[in-house]
């Protein structure tokens, strides 16, 4: 089994007036039982107009495949090499010679990420992290590449203590001996703070304190927004609150001019029984809303109008990744390039060409009464004249054998038979319209844009949007008690302001 730690970041311009355009990114892990070749990966990047990528290492085959494409590449020093590089300038220079000089200028390398979440995953390397960054920077200076290639290191957002209200946030004080010189380095070299932000995990860790809509960027009425009592800034989503917490944490250490780039963020499309909110709809909602949020240059409440460039986790699902079901299901695509779900990306330009904003489906509501669903299913397969034979045992859409799945197939077929006319996706209130393709396995729904369609009695049955090709992303560690205290504080603050 090939195991390649790879993180690809897509980027598109969001502002022509900024010194450096904001971009949206996609992470790609390659912990796959049957990974695509570097050439195939690059072909997908081109097809999806992905112009920025980041590798979790400096894989030679990938760098060669990326030559002469113009794609901007961030390479990484793996965590297991930091100790050696941080203790020897010569080792750092050799690393740059092998992994940078051997490939530029044909391959457009623009950044080096030294490790990933080192302070939380490899704390014994923390004391020499800045030395490793400085040695890499010195090697770039010696090669006259320091103006073309920046150096930074991604952090888990869990290094921020008491992230709400953001104005009271600060970095874990035990890491001040590292963070202060690290921020000085970023400031002096014109680099940026790399931060991994996962509202999904913040939501899961909050034990119901954080509303799902607040985590998913869904619109909130003013009286439901979180308010920082010190600044009176209103927060409509978890993402902005965490990013501003990072800005305030830097300000606490007297650094006010270092930008934040979010190097990982996303939402899993499938989970086990303990992760009921890891769904296709929620993954689609989060990533679609995040992309719009970044590309609309909304910025954060602390820095309005200054978009936070962000990398979505991830491009591929990873079937060989260890851990829970959700760990394998962060991807936008299967390894053959078929979308896991269809992003709704009006206004994003040509980024992610699986964008089909007019493609809609009719699905059963998760919270609908089972008896009402069964009655609606019976009507659709009877008077509604839907061909429900694909739902019979042994047929492509029999599994999962439950009323929600079967009703969804029948509702969507009726909806498309009626040319998606107004009022044809209601079924007495137990159905709703979505842009997420509900196809799964060999069962293709009418209207699906997926490939490898199967046809039953002339009806196109949608491909699996639940296919699992697992992903390999950074480990995330959270102080559950500290986070819970911050979340509860936010709810108490809401009560004080609005109740």
Q: Which residues are catalytic?
A: 117, 264
Tell me the C-alpha to C-alpha distance, in Å, between residue 427 and each of 123, 214, 384, 411, 419: 56, 29, 11, 8, 16
How many Cα atoms are found within 13 Å in the side-chain-facing hemisphere of 411? 32
How many whole angstroms separate alpha carbon 17 and alpha carbon 100? 30
- Tokens 């205290």: give the residue: 485
- Compute φ and ψ for 406, nearest 5 degrees: -70, -40
Whether 281 contacts 288, CB under 8 Å:
no
How many Å is the Cα radius of gyration of the chain? 24
What are the beta bridge partners of residue 27?
313
Whether 129 contacts 83, CB under 8 Å:
no
- DSSP letters spanning 81-120: GHHHHHT-HHHHHHHHIIIIITTTTTS-EEEEEESSSHHH
Q: The tokens of 444 are what?
A: 């293709």
Helix axes 370-381, 403-417, angle to 10 degrees: 40
H-helix segments, 296-417: 370-381, 403-417
> 474's torsion region: left (phi>0), alpha (psi -120 to 50) or beta?
beta
- DSSP letters spanning 39-54: HHHHHHHHHTT--EEE
- Tokens 């940078």: give the residue: 100
Tell me the C-alpha to C-alpha distance, in Å, between residue 340 and each of 120, 265, 290, 409: 31, 17, 17, 17
């Amino acid at each position: 089994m090939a195991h390649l730690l790879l993180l690809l970041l897509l980027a598109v311009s969001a502002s022509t007036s900024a010194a450096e355009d904001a971009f949206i990114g996609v992470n790609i892990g390659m912990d796959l039982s049957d990974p695509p070749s570097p050439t195939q990966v690059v072909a997908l990047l081109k097809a999806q107009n992905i112009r920025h990528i980041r590798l979790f290492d400096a894989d030679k085959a990938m760098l060669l495949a990326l030559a002469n494409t113009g794609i901007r590449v961030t390479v990484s020093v793996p965590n297991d090499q930091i100790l050696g590089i941080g203790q020897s300038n010569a080792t750092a220079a050799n690393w740059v010679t092998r992994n940078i000089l051997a490939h530029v200028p044909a391959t457009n390398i623009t950044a080096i990420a030294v490790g990933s979440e080192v302070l939380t995953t490899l704390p014994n390397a923390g004391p020499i992290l800045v030395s490793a960054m400085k040695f890499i920077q010195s090697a770039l200076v010696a090669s006259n590449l320091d103006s073309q290639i920046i150096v930074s290191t991604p952090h888990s957002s869990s290094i921020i203590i008491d992230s709400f209200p953001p104005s009271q946030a600060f970095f874990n004080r035990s890491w001040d001996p590292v963070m202060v010189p690290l921020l000085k380095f970023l400031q002096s070299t014109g680099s940026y703070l790399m931060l991994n932000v996962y509202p999904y995990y913040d939501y899961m860790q909050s034990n119901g304190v954080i509303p799902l809509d607040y985590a998913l960027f869904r619109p909130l009425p003013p009286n439901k927004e979180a308010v920082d009592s010190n600044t009176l800034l209103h927060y409509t989503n978890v993402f902005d609150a965490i990013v501003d917490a990072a800005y305030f944490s830097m300000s606490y250490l007297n650094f006010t001019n270092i930008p934040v780039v979010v190097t990982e963020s996303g939402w899993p499309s499938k989970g086990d029984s303990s992760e009921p909110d890891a769904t296709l709809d929620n993954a689609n909602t989060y990533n679609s809303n995040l992309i719009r949020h970044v590309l609309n240059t909304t910025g954060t409440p602390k820095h309005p109008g200054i978009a936070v460039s962000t990398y979505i986790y991830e491009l591929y699902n990873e079937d060989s990744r260890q851990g829970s079901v959700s760990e394998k299901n962060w991807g936008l695509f299967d390894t053959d390039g078929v979308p896991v779900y269809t992003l709704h990306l009006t206004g994003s330009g040509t980024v992610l060409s699986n964008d089909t904003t007019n493609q809609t489906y009719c699905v059963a509501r998760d919270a609908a009464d089972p008896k009402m669903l069964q009655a609606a299913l019976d009507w659709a397969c009877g008077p509604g004249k839907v061909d429900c034979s694909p739902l019979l045992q042994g047929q492509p859409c029999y599994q999962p054998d439950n009323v929600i799945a079967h009703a969804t197939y029948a509702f969507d077929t009726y909806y498309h038979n009626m040319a998606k006319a107004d009022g044809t996706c209601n079924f007495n209130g137990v159905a709703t319209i979505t842009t997420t393709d509900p196809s799964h396995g060999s069962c293709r729904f009418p209207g699906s844009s997926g490939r490898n369609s199967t046809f039953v009695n002339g009806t196109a049955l949608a491909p699996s949007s639940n296919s699992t090709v697992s992903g390999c992303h950074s480990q995330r560690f959270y102080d559950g008690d500290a986070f819970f205290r911050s979340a509860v504080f936010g709810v108490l603050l809401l009560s004080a302001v609005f109740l």
